[in-house]
Amino acid sequence: MPPTDTSHPDYYHRVVDCQWACPAHTDVPEYIRLIAQGRFTDAYMVNRQANVFPGILGRVCDRPCEPACRRSRVEDKPVAICRLKRVAADHKDEFVSRLPKIPAVKNGKHVACIGAGTASLTVANDLLPLGYRVTIFEQFGEPGGLMRTNIPSFRLPQAVLDEEIGVIIGMGADLKLNHPVKSMRELLAHGGFDAVFVGSGAPKGKELKLPGREEGAANIHIGIEWLESVAFEHVKSIGREVLIIGVGNTAMDCCRTSLRLGAQHVKVMARKPRQFFKASDWELDDAEEENVGIIVNRSPKRFVVENGRLTGMLFDVMEYDLDGAGRITAERVTGEEFFAADDVILAIGQENAFPWIERDLGIEFDKWSVPAVDPVTFQSTRPGVFFGGDAAFGPKNIIWAVEHGHQAAISIHRHCQGEAVTERLAPGVNLQSRKMGMHEWSYSNDYNPAERRLMPHVSLKERFKKLDIEVELGYTAEQTAAEVQRCLNCDIQTVFEAKLCIECDACIDICPTDCLTITADGPEAELRTRLRAPAKNPDQLLYVSAPLKQTGRVMVKDEDLCVHCGLCAERCPTAAWDMQKSHVAWPHAEDQPPSCQPSLPKIA
Amino acid sequence: MTFIPKPKVRNPSLPRNDLGLTRRDYEGALSTLCAGCGHDSITAALTEAIWGESLEPQNLVKLSGIGCSSKTTAYFVSGGHGFNSVHGRMPSIAMGANAANRNLHYIGVSGDGDTLSIGLGQFCHAIRRNLNMLYVIENNGVYGLTKGQFSASADIGSKAKKGDVNRQPPIDPVLLAMNLGASFIARSFSGDKAQLVPLLQAGLRHRGFALIDVISPCVTFNDHEGSTKSYAYTREHYEPVVNADFVPLQREIVADYAPGETLPIVMHDGSRIVLHKVARDYDPTDRVAASAYIQARLKEGEFLTGLLYVDPTQKEFHELNDTPDVPLNSLAPEVLSPGSRGLERILARYR
C-alpha cells in the first residue's frame, strides 16, 4: 500500500466517527471535554457553531453520530452524545454576547427565505452577521417549521424552541408571520431579492387510498397535519381506541400524542417485521414504555365504516420469507384480521409539494415534484434560487436541514458577491499536540469502563396529565460526570512520524486493543489479514506509514478499535507517536475568502 | 514506562488458545521500565509464547534475581508463581523449586549483570546440572539500574553514553554455555519477535536447561551511536543462521521443507522443532563445529542468532539423580520422612 496521506483533510476527520457521521460536522469530543470541565456555555458554543440548535437537537436529533460512535464497537453502547448536548444547552449561561456582531451598515444585498424552519433559520444565522438583509416568509403564526408543528411538546418544550429561534430572529431577521408565499413568479419579479432560499419542508403527508377512506374521513387523520393541529391547539382530543398506520418517527409521535389527548388503547400497525421499522430504536423504546402496542405483519386492507362512522380497520395478515442477509424474498397473505378503532392516523411518510412555484420559471422538477437541486451548492436550475432542508431532497431530519442551510448560505453569499457558487473553500484539518509533560496529556486518556447512563423519565403516572410535560428529565450532575468519561476522545489523534521510529515494538506491546503492527508492506486486503488482530471492519481506515528506517517494514494502524488512550505515545522512546488534537475546519459562509466578503460602504 | 495501566478493554477479534484464553489473559502488572526498553518487548514475546503453548498460569514458575531484567517477571502471567531472589542467586531458587516439583514450567529471567557477573557461578552450575528450565538473559551490555556502567557482556570498543570506551573482553553467554555442555542454546533479539517467540516456545518444551540470550537494547543508556547493543547496530550485525519453528505434538507438520535446509528435531514428548538453516553449512547439532562457526563470525563482528545448538537427548537433573517421578508434595509423609529408624540407618553410614 502507498503510505497513508494524512494531510488529506478527510483522513483524521474520518477517525472521529461521530463528527464524520454528523451532517453538520459537530466537534463532539471537544464539547464533551468542555462539559467534563463544567464549561457548559463553551460547550454550547462549540455546538452552535456547527449545528445552530443545540437545545433542540439535544432532545430530538436523529443522532447519526451515536451508531457511528467507536465506543459502540469497543463495548456495545455508544456515548450518549445527544443527551450530553442537552446538558450543555440546559446549563449554559448567557451566550448571545458571544455571537458575531451584526453590522449596523448592511451590504446592500437582500435574501428571501421561504418557510421559517430549520434550514431557513440557519441561512439567516449565517448571512445576517455578514451584513445581509434577510426576510423570512412563514405561513403559520409562529416560526419553527416542522420542529414546532410535528414534534410534540412533551419531547421538545416550546420554551427551548422559542429561545433558539429567538436568538436568530434577534439578529435582525425580518420575520413575516402568517405570510404564505403564493407565487414564486410574483416573489422573483417584484420582491426585489438578490437570492431566494426555499426551505418550506416536505409538508404533505402521504395518503392511503383504500376503500372506506372517504366515508370515514372524519376520523381518519394524516399524521403530520394532525400533529400540526395539536401543536396549534386546534385539536384537543381523540377517541379511546386509536390505530396508527406506519412505524416511522412520526408514527411514534402520533401514538404518544394520542395517549395524552385521551386515547386509552393505541396500536401501531406495521406491514413488515420489526427489523424493517424506520423509527429510531430509542423512539420505539419510549413509545413501548408508554404501553403502545406494536403489531407487526398487518397490511392495511380497508377502513370499516358502519352507519357513517369509522369502527375500525381490516388488515391482511402477512407472512414473509427472509434470506440469509435478512432481506425479504417472498411474501404472502395468510388471512385477515379486524382491529376496532375510533380514530386512525396515517403516518406513512411525507412528500414535497410546491403548488406555489410556477413551472415556467426555469426551476426544474422531476415527475414526483422534487426540484432538481445541486447536492453541493443547493442551487436549483435557476441561478439565485436555492433549496434546502426537506424541500431539497425530501424528508430527512433536522441536523441535515442545518447543514443544507450552512451550504446554501455559502452559495447565496458567493452568488450575491458575483462569485461562482461551485468554487467553495475546501475543508481543512489542523493538528496540535496534546503533550504536557513526560506522561501528561491535556486530555483524560485513561479508559473508563463505565456503562452508558440511562435517561431519567417523568413517571408514567405523571406524564399524561398535560400534553407539554417533558418526559425526559435530562442527566443529573452525577450521570453527566460519568457519561462524559465514556468519550474516547477520538479527535486526539495518534500521529506517527516514521523517520523517528527505532522499531522497538513498545507501542505494539502496550496497545490494549492490538491495533498496531510493524510488518512487511503488502496490498491492503492481504495486509488486513496479517495484523496483530485482523482488521475486519472495511469501513474503518488502515494507516500505513512510510518504510521504517532500520528494516524497511511499515507501521500499520487499524483505526477501528483505537481507544485513543495514548499509551503508544507514552511508551514511545523517540516521540515517533504523538497525540494531537485534530480540529476540522468545516467552512461556513463567514469563512469564505476575503474576495467574497461584503464590501461595506465607506463611512466618512 | 506509562503512568496508567493498560486498560482492560480488548479487541474482540483476538485469537484464543486451546484454553479459550487470549494474549491479554497472560499479561501482568504495569511495567515501570523506560519507554522503549527491549525488556518490555521480551515480556510481550514471553506472553505470546506462553499463551501460544496454552500453558495454564498456575503451572508456571517465574524466577528472577536483581536488575532491570529481573523486574520483568512481574509483567507477564499474573496468575503464575513468582520468586524474585537475591542478586545472581536465581538458579539456586530454581534448583530448589524444581527439585521439589518437577511438573511445573520454570522460567528464569535474568540480565547480563545478574548472570555474567555476580551470578556467574550459579549460572554455570545450573547448566552443569541440566536443570529443566527456560533461562532468558535480557542482555543489554550495561548496568541500566545503576545508570549505565559497562557490564560483563559489553564488547571491546563499545562506547558508553558519555563517550568512555570499553577495553575488557566480553563474556559471551552462548560460548560459555557451549563449553559447559548446555543442551539448548539460542540467541535472539528483542526487536525480532518472529524469531524470538518460537524459540521461547521450543525452550519451554525442551527438557533440560534451555538458554536464550536475547539482545535487548537499553534505550536510556545504550542506544546511541558507538554502542554495539543498540537497536540500529543489532539490526545491522545480527545474522540468523537457524530459524526454529516449534511444532506442538498435536499438530502435523504441514509445510513442505526443502531437504538439506531443514532439520526436524524430535523433543522428548514427541513434539518437534523444525530448524530452518539459513546458513547451509551450519550444523546446530555439532557442538564443536557450531562453536567454531560462532567464534569465527564473532571475530568479524557478526553475531549469529537462532537456535544455535540443541541436543534433546541429554539427561536432565531429575534423570541424573534418580529422583521420584512425582512432585514431593504428592508423596505421603511416611514416604517423604525416613522416620527415626531410617534416620539412624542413614547416620550409621557416616560413622
Angle at A156 (CA atoms; ends A152, A159), nearest 5 degrees: 115
> What mean pLDDT do residues A228-246 have?
93
Residue range B321-341, pLDDT digits in tens? 999 999 999 999 888 888 999
Strands B105-111 and B81-84: unpaired
Q: What is the pLDDT of residue A594?
A: 67
Smallest Cβ–Cβ distance between B9 and the set A506, A513, A534 belongs to: A513
Largest CA distance in chain A: 90
Task: Supply B231's cell numbers.
Answer: 537497536
Task: Give the nearest chain B residue to A447 (CA atoms).
Answer: B7
Task: Give the nearest chain A residue to B45 (CA atoms).
Answer: A509
Question: Do the Cβ atoms of A573 and B8 come within 8 Å?
Answer: no
From A132, A145, A148, A136, select the one nearest A176 (Cα to Cα).
Answer: A136
Q: What is the pLDDT of residue B19?
A: 96
Q: What is d(CA B92, CA B86) in angstroms, rounded to the nearest whole number?
A: 10
Q: Could you tell me where the DSSP H helices lie in chain B?
A: 38-52, 68-71, 90-100, 112-116, 120-128, 173-180, 193-205, 231-237, 287-299, 317-321, 333-336, 339-348
Q: Do the Cβ atoms of B174 and B153 come closer than 8 Å?
A: no
Element (H, E) at A460: helix A460-463
Instruction: With H, G, I as helix, E, B as strand and everything else as coil, classify residue A176.
Output: strand
Residues of B in contact with A500 (CB under 8 A): none
Burial track A507-537 (b if 16+ CB lie within 10 A, e otherwise): bbbbbbbbbbbbeebeeeeebbeebbbebee
- Confidence tier at A66 by pLDDT (50, 70, 90): very high
Q: What is the pLDDT of residue A599?
A: 55
Question: Do the Cβ atoms of B41 and A503 come within 8 Å?
Answer: no
| A72, A489, A502, A515, best to mutate vs chain B, most B CBs in 10 Å | A502
pTM: 0.89
Q: What is the pLDDT of residue B290?
A: 93
- Confidence tier at B251 by pLDDT (50, 70, 90): low
Element (H, E) at B273: strand B272-277
Q: What is d(CA B286, CA B275) in angstroms, rounded to the nearest whole number?
A: 14
Instruction: With H, G, I as helix, E, B as strand and everything else as coil, classify residue B314.
Output: coil
Task: Supply B55's cell numbers.
Answer: 500453558
Q: What is d(CA A269, CA B37) in angstroms, rounded to the nearest whole number?
A: 64
Question: Do the Cβ atoms of B14 and A502 come within 8 Å?
Answer: no
Output the 3-class SS for A373-436: CCCCCCECCCCCEEECCHHHHCCCCHHHHHHHHHHHHHHHHHHHCCCCCCCCCCCEEEEEECEE
Q: Does B223 touch chain A (CB under 8 A)?
A: yes
Q: What is d(CA A107, CA A34) in angstroms, rounded to the nearest whole number?
A: 36
Residues of B in contact with A572 (CB under 8 A): 35-36
Q: Do the Cβ atoms of A331 and A320 come closer than 8 Å?
A: yes
Burial track A149-176 (b if 16+ CB lie within 10 A, e otherwise): bbbbbbbbbeebbeebbebbbebbbebe
Question: Which residues is B256 bridged to in the sheet?
Answer: none
Residue range A510-554, pLDDT digits in tens? 999 999 999 999 999 999 999 999 999 999 999 999 999 999 999
Task: Supply B168's cell numbers.
Answer: 575488557
Question: Do the Cβ atoms of B9 and A74 come within 8 Å?
Answer: yes
Q: What is the pLDDT of residue A352?
A: 83
Question: Do the Cβ atoms of B2 and A533 come within 8 Å?
Answer: no
Nearest-10 crossing angle of helices A81-91, A40-51: 120
Question: Which residues is A584 bridged to in the sheet?
Answer: A429
- Which residues of A have a CB under 8 Å from any CB of B? 74-75, 439, 445-447, 449, 502-506, 508-510, 512-515, 533-534, 536, 550-551, 561, 563, 565, 567, 570-574
Question: Do the Cβ atoms of A571 and B35 come within 8 Å?
Answer: yes
Q: What is the DSSP letter of B159?
A: B
Question: Which residues is A579 bridged to in the sheet?
Answer: A494
> What mean pLDDT do residues B273-285 have?
80
Task: Give the nearest chain A residue to B16 (CA atoms).
Answer: A533
Distances in Å between the Cα of B186 and the Cα atoms of A71, B173, B199 are 44, 10, 7
The mean pLDDT value of chain A amounts to 93
Q: What is the pLDDT of residue B3?
A: 78
> What mean pLDDT do residues B159-172 have?
93
From B83's Cα to the closest Cα of chain A, the distance in A is: 24
Angle at B317 (CA atoms; ends B313, B321), nearest 5 degrees: 110
Task: Give the nearest chain B residue to A570 (CA atoms).
Answer: B2
A186's CB contacts (< 8 A; 6+ apart) are none
Residue range A437-452, pLDDT digits in tens? 878 899 999 999 999 9
From B174's Cα to the closest Cα of chain A, the distance in A is: 23
Question: Do the Cβ atoms of A573 and B41 come within 8 Å?
Answer: no
From B296's Cα to the closest Cα of chain A, the distance in A is: 26
Output the 3-class SS for A507-547: HHHHCCCCCEEEECCCCHHHHHHHCCCCCCCCCCCEEECCC
From B331's Cα to the closest Cα of chain A, the distance in A is: 42
Q: What is d(CA B107, CA B93) in angstroms, rounded to the nearest whole number?
A: 12
> What mean pLDDT do residues B82-107 have?
96
Q: What is d(CA A553, CA A533) in angstroms, rounded to the nearest whole number?
A: 18
Fold of A99-203+352-416: FAD/NAD(P)-binding domain (3.50.50)
> What mean pLDDT do residues B126-142 have?
97
Least confident of A165-174, B9-18, B91-100: B9-18
Question: Do the Cβ atoms of B9 and A449 come within 8 Å?
Answer: yes
Q: What is d(CA A336, CA A318) in angstroms, rounded to the nearest whole number?
A: 9
Q: What is d(CA A94, CA B289) in angstroms, rounded to the nearest whole number?
A: 85
| CATH 3.40.50.970 matches B23-321 | yes
- Confidence tier at A597 by pLDDT (50, 70, 90): low
Question: Which residues is B81 bridged to in the sheet?
Answer: B61
Smallest Cβ–Cβ distance between B38 and the set A504, A551, A567 belongs to: A504
B275's CB contacts (< 8 A; 6+ apart) are B242, B243, B244, B245, B262, B263, B264, B265, B284, B306, B307, B310
Question: Do the Cβ atoms of B2 and A445 come within 8 Å?
Answer: no
Q: For chains A and B, what is the number of CB pairs under 8 angstroms?
A: 100
Q: What is the pLDDT of residue A604?
A: 45
| B1, B10, B13, B229, best to mutate vs chain A, most A CBs in 10 Å | B13
pLDDT exceeds 80 at position A262: yes
- Residue A6, amino acid: T
Q: What is d(CA A18, CA A443) in angstroms, rounded to the nearest whole number?
A: 18
Q: Do domains A99-203+352-416 and A206-348 have the same CATH topology?
A: yes
Task: Supply A157's cell numbers.
Answer: 418544550
Strands A542-544 and B81-84: unpaired
Smallest Cβ–Cβ distance between B41 and the set A449, A505, A561 belongs to: A505
pLDDT exceeds 60 at position B314: yes
Q: What is the pLDDT of residue A70?
A: 96
Q: What is the DSSP letter of B256?
A: -
> What mean pLDDT do residues A21-40 have?
97
Q: What percent of chain B has pLDDT over 70?
A: 96
Question: Do the Cβ atoms of A504 and B7 come within 8 Å?
Answer: no
- Pairs from B230-236 (Cβ < 8 Å, separation ≥ 24): B231/A502, B231/A503, B231/A504, B231/A550, B231/B38, B231/B191, B232/A502, B232/A550, B234/B189, B234/B191, B235/A503, B235/A550, B235/A551, B235/B189, B235/B191
Q: Does B225 touch chain A (CB under 8 A)?
A: no
**What does the domain layout of chain A look like in residue ranges?**
99-203+352-416, 206-348
Fold of A206-348: FAD/NAD(P)-binding domain (3.50.50)
Q: What percent of chain A has pLDDT over 90?
A: 91
